[in-house]
């Protein structure tokens, strides 16, 4: 279907947006075939050139060599993650190993690498700009780490390993989505005890969307986190809380064709082999070498510095919550499905906070406007709604402006659905660049908030609102990018630096001025009462022992998997790590191995789940700069933040960028203090 294929024609719509109203599933495969042909031809032409290598005829030529592949893949993989179907899943299974093979073919092209290496070795004589020098360094590093210096059988072995890893990662994520899509807890009127009105409404909407037989029950809970967590907080039915949480924690481990245990085992073995082929002792040594942390030892030091105070806090909390459970006449062990229920009760007692009271103040549309408002105050951005075709009716778009300058198109896709993988993320349909004229990005935020029934406002929890701000921080990193080369634009930075702009942006949600302006009651429109706002902010670090333990346990298991030989039994290894740490049975891991998509759906966060905490050390310190001057929107600080963090992409070493903003690197004490875990 190359004839009349929209991917092979000019995009003439507003801002050269993908023409989603013209794109059909049948267009993807032939467009990819053409992209493979064009990219291979362009790469070979660069490699086979007989003229002396220059930055322009080699590096800049590579920057332009995969424009069609970037266009097709940018649409396909975004749509597959947020609105998949059997045809897209089948194509993804076929494409993943082919793309890995093509990447290996390019990276291991000896003539191509020879040209890059010649440039790199003579870089001081080339008269490059600082940005070009950085791009050349990173290109050379990428080729070396992809096996460009390997020869013969080793090169072939590595290519095979990478293809198989791509295949396994796709299967892992599709299995996880299948388990999430296929499970439903149907509730009748007798099962709703304790549930607040907002959750009952959301559960009714799930039952309607999933076409549940009304005779079975008019409400249902899916494995969307924005439904599951409040159900665990409020349902008085301990048996149903257990069923729901066990379904969540058993995703990917239910046996049969969607089981992920064998995939995880093989993935770890292949990563071990990959590291050895490239001359590294362990996969963690390989993966961390280009990151800010550099070594597994440094990561372990950070995680353990936080682990001890977090565990101590969690153990105290577990004792208090167990006593509350005993007061209800339950004498068995305190279980994971009890924690959120009794923690919510305790929060009500100690802070007089009730999620049902808070939630009407956090309307989705208001929180989007709050995120836009902060971006305007900090960076001068404005957001103009766009009426353009998008890939799903729930998605919406805005043009992003700075004065009269077009900065980006921002797409928001906020509601959970069965065709969307779980979690929240930021991605892009097009990257920013300025090599061949200014190209501004098309950026997308995807979330999984529970959709309200038609005609009712979508209400978020405070944590949901924080997630929205987090992902919008990533989006700003993409949309404010102002570099020449797409290779280093936006979020193309070290993994343990990429979470800084997102986690830092979360802090503005808690600024009293922002909450006073946008936390308005869904029915009355009145601002959140000052006294309720004070209680909310006072409780902001409530239950940090629990959340820090479940996160850090996952990060430590990830590190243990990859900083030693691949385990024969990953689940036994996981259990040994948790036992050695003394993780309370009532908490466990945030992401157990069979559903640890960060680590097993691809290489992105493998040996890198720690990066959220590494970035948090910086984000706590970075926001403290605004607190020190007494103004969360201080213009001078905002300009430094823009220039050195949000607009700079990967144009400099991350530590250099942070030092340019803050003047010194922070210590882990900032994180411990920020989480309220000081002894």
User: DSSP string covering 64-109, please?
Assistant: TTTHHHHHHHHHHHHHHHHS--HHHHHHHHHHHHHHHHHHHHHHT-
Task: Provide φ and ψ at 461, rounded to 5°.
Answer: -80, 170
Task: Report how far residue 394's alpha carbon sits from residue 419's, in angstroms, rounded to the nearest whole number.
Answer: 12
Of 641, 668, 293, nearest to 501 by C-alpha is 641
Of 404, 414, 412, nearest to 382 by C-alpha is 404
Beta bridge partner(s), residue 398? 385, 410
Cα dihedral 109, 111, 115, 117 sign: positive
* Contact criterion met (CB below 8 Å) for 199 and 227: yes
Alpha-carbon Rg of the chain, whole angstroms?
Answer: 25
Task: Report how far residue 312's alpha carbon sits from residue 545's, in angstroms, rounded to the nearest whole number.
Answer: 8
Does 209 qualify as catalytic in the annotation?
no
Instruction: Report which secondary-structure segment, H or E, holds 324.
Output: helix 296-327
* Contact criterion met (CB below 8 Å) for 371 and 469: yes
Task: Report how far residue 283's alpha carbon sits from residue 297's, in angstroms, rounded to the nearest whole number.
Answer: 13
Of 366, 357, 671, nearest to 541 by C-alpha is 671
Of 172, 62, 73, 60, nearest to 106 by C-alpha is 62
Ramachandran area for residue 237 (φ above 0: left; ψ -120 to 50: alpha; else beta):
beta
The DSSP letter of residue 190 is G
* Contact criterion met (CB below 8 Å) for 120 and 54: no
The DSSP letter of residue 211 is T
471, 506, 550, 616: which is the annotated catalytic residue?
Answer: 471
40-47 contacts, C-beta under 8 A, 24 or more apart = 40/102, 40/105, 42/66, 43/106, 43/109, 43/112, 44/109, 46/112, 46/115, 47/109, 47/111, 47/112, 47/115
Query: For 303, how many CA atoms within 13 A lie in the half-sphere containing its CB?
Result: 26
Of 371, 583, 603, nearest to 474 by C-alpha is 371
Q: Write out the two tokens for 558.
A: 């990830």
For the beta sheet containing 405-415, the strands, ordered from the edge strand earlier in sequence to the opposite edge, are 381-386, 396-402, 405-415, 442-449, 425-430
Task: Report how far residue 272's alpha carbon sits from residue 280's, in angstroms, rounded to the nearest whole number.
Answer: 9
Residue 425 three-state SS: strand
* Contact criterion met (CB below 8 Å) for 435 and 60: yes
Kindly report the number of other CB atoms within 10 A of residue 395's CB atom: 19
CB-based contacts of 246, cutoff 8 Å, min separation 6 = 337
* Contact criterion met (CB below 8 Å) for 551 and 590: yes
In the 3-class helix/strand/coil scheme, how is 17-34 assigned residue by residue?
Answer: CCCCCCCCHHHHHHHHHH
Q: Which residues are catalytic, by number?
A: 471
């Amino acid at each position: 279907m190359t004839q009349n294929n929209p991917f092979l024609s000019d995009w003439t719509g507003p801002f050269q947006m993908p023409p989603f109203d013209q794109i059909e599933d049948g267009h993807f495969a032939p467009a990819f075939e053409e992209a493979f042909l064009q990219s291979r031809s362009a790469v070979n032409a660069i490699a086979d050139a007989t003229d002396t290598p220059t930055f322009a005829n080699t590096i800049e030529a590579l920057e332009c060599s995969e424009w069609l592949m970037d266009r097709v893949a940018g649409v396909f993989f975004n749509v597959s993650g947020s609105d998949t179907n059997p045809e897209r899943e089948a194509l993804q299974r076929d494409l993943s190993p082919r793309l890995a093979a093509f990447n290996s073919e390019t990276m291991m092209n000896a003539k191509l690498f020879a040209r890059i290496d010649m440039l790199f070795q003579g870089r001081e004589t080339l008269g490059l700009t600082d940005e070009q020098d950085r791009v050349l360094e990173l290109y050379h590093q990428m080729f070396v780490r992809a096996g460009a210096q390997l020869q013969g059988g080793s090169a072939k072995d590595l290519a095979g390993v990478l293809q198989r890893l791509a295949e396994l990662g796709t299967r892992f994520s599709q299995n996880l989505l299948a388990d999430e899509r296929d499970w439903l807890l149907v509730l009748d009127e007798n099962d709703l005890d304790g549930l607040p009105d907002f959750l009952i409404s959301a559960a009714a909407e799930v039952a309607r969307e999933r076409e549940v037989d009304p005779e079975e029950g008019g409400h249902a809970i899916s494995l969307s986190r924005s439904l599951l967590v409040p159900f665990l907080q409020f349902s008085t039915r301990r048996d149903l809380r257990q069923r729901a949480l066990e379904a969540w924690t058993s995703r990917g481990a239910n046996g049969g064709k969607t089981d992920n245990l064998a995939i995880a085992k093989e993935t770890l073995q292949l990563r071990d082999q990959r590291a050895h082929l490239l001359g590294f002792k362990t996969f963690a040594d390989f993966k961390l070498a280009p990151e800010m942390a550099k070594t597994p030892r440094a990561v372990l030091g950070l995680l353990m510095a936080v682990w001890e105070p977090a565990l101590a806090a969690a153990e105290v909390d577990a004792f208090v919550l167990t006593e509350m459970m005993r007061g209800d006449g339950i004498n068995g062990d305190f279980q994971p499905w009890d924690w959120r229920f009794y923690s919510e009760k305790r929060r009500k007692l100690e802070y007089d906070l009730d999620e049902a009271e808070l939630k009407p103040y956090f309307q989705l549309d208001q929180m989007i406007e709050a995120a836009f408002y902060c971006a305007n105050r900090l960076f001068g951005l404005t957001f103009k709604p766009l009426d353009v075709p998008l890939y799903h009716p729930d998605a919406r778009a805005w043009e992003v402006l700075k004065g009269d300058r077009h900065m980006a198109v921002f797409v928001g896709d906020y509601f959970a659905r069965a065709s969307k993988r779980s979690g929240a993320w930021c991605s892009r349909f097009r990257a920013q660049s300025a090599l061949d004229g200014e190209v501004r990005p098309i950026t997308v935020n995807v979330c999984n908030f529970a959709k309200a029934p038609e005609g009712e406002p979508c209400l978020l929890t405070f944590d949901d609102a924080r997630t929205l701000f987090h992902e919008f921080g990533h989006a700003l990193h993409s949309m404010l990018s102002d570099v020449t080369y797409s290779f280093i634009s936006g979020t193309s930075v070290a993994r343990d630096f990429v979470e800084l702009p997102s986690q830092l942006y979360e802090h503005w949600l808690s600024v009293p001025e922002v909450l006073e302006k946008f936390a308005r009651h869904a029915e009355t429109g009145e601002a959140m009462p000052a006294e309720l706002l004070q209680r909310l902010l006072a409780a902001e670090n409530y239950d940090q022992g629990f959340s820090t333990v479940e996160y850090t346990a996952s990060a430590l298991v990830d590190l243990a998997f990859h900083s030693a030989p691949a385990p024969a039994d990953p689940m036994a290894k996981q259990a040994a790590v948790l036992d050695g740490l003394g993780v309370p049975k009532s908490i466990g891991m945030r992401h157990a191995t069979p559903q640890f998509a960060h680590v097993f759906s691809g290489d992105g966060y493998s040996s890198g789940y720690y990066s959220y905490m590494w970035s948090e050390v910086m984000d706590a310190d970075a926001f403290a700069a605004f607190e020190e001057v007494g103004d969360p929107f201080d213009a001078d600080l905002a300009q430094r933040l823009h220039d050195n963090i949000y607009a700079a992409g990967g144009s400099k070493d991350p530590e250099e960028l942070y030092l340019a903003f803050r003047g010194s690197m922070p210590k882990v004490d900032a994180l411990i203090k920020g989480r309220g875990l000081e002894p």
